[in-house]
Structure 1
Amino acid sequence: MGSIFAITNQKGGVGKTTTSVNLAAALADYGRKVLLIDLDPQGNASTGCGLDKDDIALTSYEVIMTEAKAADAIIRPDNLSFDVIPTNSDLTAAEVQLLEVKLREHRLRLALESTRDLYDYILIDCPPSLSMLTVNALVASKGVLIPIQCEYYALEGLSSLLKTIERIKQRANPGLEITGLLRTMFDARNNLANQVSRQLINHFQGKVFHSIIPRNVRLAEAPSHGLPVINYDRTSRGSIAYMALASELMRRDKKAA
């Protein structure tokens, strides 16, 4: 049975989608069967995989609203070695519609029941908010990856997310755990970044990934080409960092099994 991970942070611009796309590519490069689910109405993960989000028949909207089976919405992007359930702005409507349906927090979990055995890893790119879409991702997942920038406001919004995770663990998904906090867009020359990094390690002992994602030009360029960085420039620092993260995630997942 595949391991499902929600990649989330209510703060935008922290590398959440970048992590979702590149971690999926790195895991697939290690020979794992991977499904990436774009659950952010902005659809950036979809375009980052080279898909035209305005020319997609079935999306995560149809899946979560039970208008289509997950298997029918899966796409294998050209030149990539992992599958995607893409999305577009239609998903915005689901945030309101889910409030009026039964089992609203469990829609994604139920939709993936017949699909998760086909994959080693399923990654869910969540919207930058604690919406019903994010709740669905957390209820469906065994673990949470939290990308975080080491800056002044980094810890401020984290408390709300941690409270939400704890509530979902108590009420809907007892097995949910924080798999790790991932330091992104890191610049080791920045004193504040190093200070915040130390605070994270001290406060979340054992929960901070050893792998660090650096600021990297090639990593920033890759989405404009519709490619993960490993396909765009395999030797770049960004690519090497995400390969290291994939290896670390697999070790943690095996240990937690």
Structure 2
Amino acid sequence: MAKIFCVANQKGGVGKTTTTVNLAAGLASIGQRVLMVDLDPQGNATMGSGVDKRALQSSVYDVLLGSASVQQAAVRAQACGYQVLGANRELSGAEVELVDLEQREKRLKNALAAVDAQYDFILIDCPPSLSLLTLNGLCCAHGVIVPMQCEYFALEGLTDLVNTIKQVHANLNPDLQIIGLLRVMFDPRITLQQQVSEQLKSHFGDKVFDTVIPRNVRLAEAPSYGLPGVVFDPAAKGSQAFVAFAHEMVGRVRRM
């Protein structure tokens, strides 16, 4: 049975997509069967996995509206070792079309149930806003991975996200919980980042992942080549950190 995790943060620009594709590639590199679901109409996670969003025969849009199954719409990211349920601009129209459909918040959950046995991990890249798309992700997830920078405004965004997760947990998905906070783009030379990191650890305890993803040029360059950093430059510090994070995730899942 697959473990389903949303990578979410209501603050933009915190590295959600980078985290999703690199964790997917890291998990695949250690032998896990992975499906990466792109729920963002920009389709960055799709392109960052080496899949051309413009050439998709079917996408997550078709899955949400019921015109294709996950099995029909998912494609193999050959260089990365995982399956991709891609997104493109069509998805931006799904918000309006989903409103009148039955079980509109659980369309993705019902679709993923059919392929549950085929994967060890299903990772969902959520858009930054709280929308029907994000709700679909949160309703089918066992937990949320929250990538965050160790900066003051990141703490404010975290409060909003925790409140959202509590509401979804209470009303739509009793299984939903925060799996952990992942410190990303971390620079130990900056005193404020060290202070915020310590605040996170003292407040959230073991909900903060041990792995820290450093600020890394190679991770930033990788999307322009249509690859996760883990595949683009496996020797880079950022790539090695994501593989370490993949090992930590597998360990955490076994303890769940």
The answer to whether TM tops 0.5 is yes
Match of 2:46 in 1: 46
- Secondary structure in 1 aligned to 2:114? coil
**2:19 & 2:79 partners in 1: Cα distance?**
19
Aligned residues: 256
Q: Please, which runs of 5 or more residues in structure 2 have no aligned partner?
A: none
CA RMSD of aligned residues (A): 0.9
Contact 2:147 2:181 in 1 (8 A): yes
Q: CA deviation at 1:94?
A: 1.1
Q: Superposition pairs for residues 6-25 of structure 1, below 5 Å?
A: 6-25=6-25
Match of 1:157 in 2: 157
Match of 1:219 in 2: 219
> What letter is aligned with 2:46?
S
Q: Superposition pairs for residues 217-256 of structure 1, below 5 Å?
A: 217-256=217-256
Contact 1:150 1:196 in 2 (8 A): yes
Match of 2:66 in 1: 66
State yes or no: 1:136 paired with 2:136.
yes
Q: CA deviation at 1:55?
A: 1.3
Match of 1:79 in 2: 79
- Secondary structure in 2 aligned to 1:36? strand
Deviations 1:178-228 (A, max 9, x none): 110001100000011111111111111110101011110111111111111
Identity %: 51
Q: Please, which runs of 5 or more residues in structure 1 have no aligned partner?
A: none
**2:94 & 2:205 partners in 1: Cα distance?**
37
Contact 1:6 1:143 in 2 (8 A): yes
> What letter is aligned with 1:146?
V
Q: CA deviation at 1:78?
A: 2.8
- Secondary structure in 2 aligned to 1:180? strand
**2:155 & 2:167 partners in 1: Cα distance?**
19
**1:158 & 1:96 partners in 2: Cα distance?**
28
- Secondary structure in 2 aligned to 1:176? coil
State yes or no: 1:169 paired with 2:169.
yes
**1:172 & 1:49 partners in 2: Cα distance?**
31
Contact 1:130 1:161 in 2 (8 A): no
Q: CA deviation at 1:67?
A: 1.4
Contact 1:147 1:183 in 2 (8 A): yes
TM-score (norm 2): 0.98
